Amino acid sequence: MGKILACDYGLRRIGIAITDELQMIASPLETVATNEIWEYLSRVIPAEQIEIVVVGEPKGLRGEATDATAAANNFAKRLPKRFDGVQVERVNEMFTSKMASRALVAGGAKKSQRQKKGEIDKISAAIILQDFLASRGSIF
């Protein structure tokens, strides 16, 4: 069984999270500059035997499109064309950044760490991935 990768797509940065081999546990991996994502994925997808990529869908409070929605949609559409055999799934990412910030506070992270956008992005990706796993009944 391959792993699942999640992307919290942003116009500047993309948070990345990954599952274990059993597709049960989501863990933050890293944050990648948006302009470097294709090179990064070209290395990670084969190396980690990724079979599904989950892309967060940015939406406003009323479910409307945001500045990042079109770019995230384009990214999601290009993934299966670039990586044959990789399935792409979408998950609503509403409030994941706020949840990531709260998780950092609850975990005792120092203020300087909580203010690093990259930390929030990769934790947001893990939350997106955890939501996807929960929707499939893949977690305890």
| pLDDT one-digit tens code per residue, 51-107 | 999 999 877 667 777 778 899 999 999 999 999 999 999 987 655 555 555 555 555
Instruction: Spell out the domains of the chain, with CATH numbers in brackets.
Output: 3-136 (3.30.420.140)
User: What pLDDT score does 114 carry?
Assistant: 43
Sequence-ordered list of residues with C-beta below 8 angstroms from that of 81, at least 6 positions apart, any chain: none
Structure-model confidence comparison of residues 122 and 45, the more confident one:
45
pLDDT score of 91: 85
CB 115 within 8 A of CB 109: no
Whether the model clears a pTM of 0.95, i.e. scores above it, the answer is no
Crossing angle of helices 69-82/37-47, nearest 10°?
50
